[in-house]
Structure 1
Amino acid sequence: MSTATKSERLSTTSAGRPRAGRPHRFEKSATTRKIDKTGGSFDGRFGEDVSRPDDMLPTHRRTVAATDTQIRFGSGESSLGTVLVAQSEHGIRAILIGDDPDALPRDLRDRFPRAQLIHGGAGFDRIVARVVAFVEASQSGLDLPLDPQGTAFQQRVWEALRNIPVGQTASYSEIARRIGAPKAIRAVGSACAANAIAVAIPCHRAVRSDGSLSGYRWGTERKRALLDREAKR
């Protein structure tokens, strides 16, 4: 991967994207706003047990890979809002969704502060287009490698999420049982909140035990829209 020029590197104010043609803003619930502020706290309704498994490290809110060098990123527009796509040399590192195109690159920087963030690059628009198309029709699958960064426990949760078939959901307690940590219900919820690869690691398919929707980092309305689309596949 070639070395970026200084002008290519990310600044916190240079990542504006066209706002025209987007649907209404997706409002965040109080629970989702709480997640944004804490990096993974929920409203306590996942289950009564708050046990934390040994591989759920205290630093789970922001995992930084020491080997990060370059991450290329770009944004596109979807019916769910702006989609930021970030890719390392190993695969898709992040898919972030939001209403504010300027806020998403800042979120990316916060998640990977040791990385050199490079805007765009040769052929990267095609990667962004493929991911945006996938967000619009997740049942089609994403034929790109993923490079999720997280603790061993988070990786187990994310793998379990990827094993939930399109059109189906699983409760946090069920996911905890599937990964062999039945008492770690709230830790499963925190792992879902820490997921940086929206839709491709489908944390939107995690629901409460009664089937109702809980907080979603990118807004409960988006979670409902994704599940409604997948149910109609």
Structure 2
Amino acid sequence: MDGQKELNYNRISEAIDYIRNNFRDQPSLEEIAEKVHLSPFHFQRLFSDWAGTTPKRFLQYISLEHAKSLLKDQQATLFNAAMETGLSGTGRLHDLFINVEGMTPAEYKNGGVNLVINYRFAESPFGKLIVASTMKGVCHLAFIDNGVMAVADLKKRFPNASFQLKDDLIQHNALAIFQNDWNQLPKIKLHLKGTDFQLKVWETLLKIPMGKLSTYGKIAEHIGRATASRAVGTAIGSNPVAFLIPCHRVIQSSGGIGGYRWGTVKKTAMIGWESAKTDSI
């Protein structure tokens, strides 16, 4: 991420954090802009370029009331149908076009023996990330602050695999998710290392339509384990593929944002960003 992009992203993150912590007071454009040391005009332009909506509208998307209204929609038949198909009812969403393949027991047990993993660094609307892939699909995607530590974490997950810094089509197709035209997304393939229970939870997350939210309890009910909310939460927290497996769409039953492996500011940003995108479809 070059210096200006990094500065702009940091300003957006700071603004989102301020909005998230102060939305009950409905802060004005001038108040938010002052917090990131920009004029109201330049801040609104920067924020709208990033989110596709105004700061005021974004504030509405991340409010507790908005989250509760989305959760209430879960009671509707249309939402239940969406959970089954991965469709929101308007436009093509990426969820239905992600194929998940679990690693074989041998690959899982032996830490990736005989796997060749390509990895690269890339930019996203939510900061720098690392993406890694086998010949079958994306096996790892994470937001990062330090490239050396990110590679070390990847190798720790697959201690016996071979690694090469290399771009490939699988990575390219996955990164297309951050483009604006959701109707032109290619097929995305994932090759995941996880238990049967984890894979079941992750596949269920893919059925939450973009721009919608669910809860840990609802996910547990959907997989037939209504009393296993805590285990579901643990599986969600161990998601190895940021954004593509949308664990950011799972919040508390109260409407609270809840935790997130890559930080609550990123989670809030993703929820608001997706709401803006789906509102424009």
TM-score (norm 1): 0.69
**CA distance in 2 between partners of 1:117 and 1:101 (Å):** 15
Q: Show the counterpart of 2:139.
A: 93
**CA distance in 1 between partners of 2:192 and 2:245 (Å):** 9
Q: Which runs of 5+ in 2 are unaligned?
A: 18-106
What SS does structure 1 have at the residue aligned with 2:190?
coil
Q: Show the counterpart of 1:56.
A: none
1:195 aligns with 2:239: yes
| Matches for 1:119-134 after TM superposition, within 5 Å | 119-120=165-166, 124=167, 127-134=170-177
**CA distance in 2 between partners of 1:163 and 1:230 (Å):** 15
**CA distance in 2 between partners of 1:138 and 1:96 (Å):** 23
**CA distance in 1 between partners of 2:169 and 2:136 (Å):** 17
Q: Show the counterpart of 2:10.
A: 24
- Relative to structure 1, the CA distance from residue 75 to residue 176 in structure 2 (aligned partners, 3 Å threshold; closer, same or farther) is same
What SS does structure 1 have at the residue aligned with 2:200?
helix
Q: CA deviation at 1:70?
A: 1.0
The Cα offsets for residues 178-213 of structure 1, whole Å up to 9 and x where unpaired, read as 001111111111111111111111111111111211
**CA distance in 2 between partners of 1:113 and 1:214 (Å):** 32
Give the conservation status (yes or no) of the 8 Å contact 2:138–2:174.
no
- Relative to structure 1, the CA distance from residue 107 to residue 142 in structure 2 (aligned partners, 3 Å threshold; closer, same or farther) is farther
Q: CA deviation at 1:102?
A: 2.6
Identity rate, percent: 34
Q: Show the counterpart of 1:13.
A: none
Give the conservation status (yes or no) of the 8 Å contact 1:76–1:129.
no
| Matches for 1:77-226 after TM superposition, within 5 Å | 77-120=123-166, 124=167, 127-135=170-178, 137=180, 139=182, 143-226=187-270
Give the conservation status (yes or no) of the 8 Å contact 1:64–1:111.
no
- Relative to structure 1, the CA distance from residue 165 to residue 173 in structure 2 (aligned partners, 3 Å threshold; closer, same or farther) is same
Give the conservation status (yes or no) of the 8 Å contact 1:176–1:182.
yes
TM-score (norm 2): 0.58
- Matched to 2:226, the amino acid is P
Give the conservation status (yes or no) of the 8 Å contact 2:138–2:171.
no
Deviating more after overlay: 94-103 vs 135-144: 135-144
RCO higher in structure (CA 8 A, sep ≥6): 1
The Cα offsets for residues 16-75 of structure 1, whole Å up to 9 and x where unpaired, read as xx5532221869x9xxxxxxxxxxxxxxxxxxxxxxxxxxxxxxxxx9453542111001
The Cα offsets for residues 62-117 of structure 1, whole Å up to 9 and x where unpaired, read as x9453542111001122311121111121111111122233221221122112111
Greater percentage in helix: 2
What RMSD, in angstroms, separates the aligned Cα atoms of the two structures? 2.5
Give the conservation status (yes or no) of the 8 Å contact 2:133–2:171.
no
* Largest Rg, 1 or 2: 2
Q: CA deviation at 1:136?
A: 5.2
**CA distance in 2 between partners of 1:194 and 1:71 (Å):** 20
Q: Which runs of 5+ in 1 are unaligned?
A: 1-17, 30-62
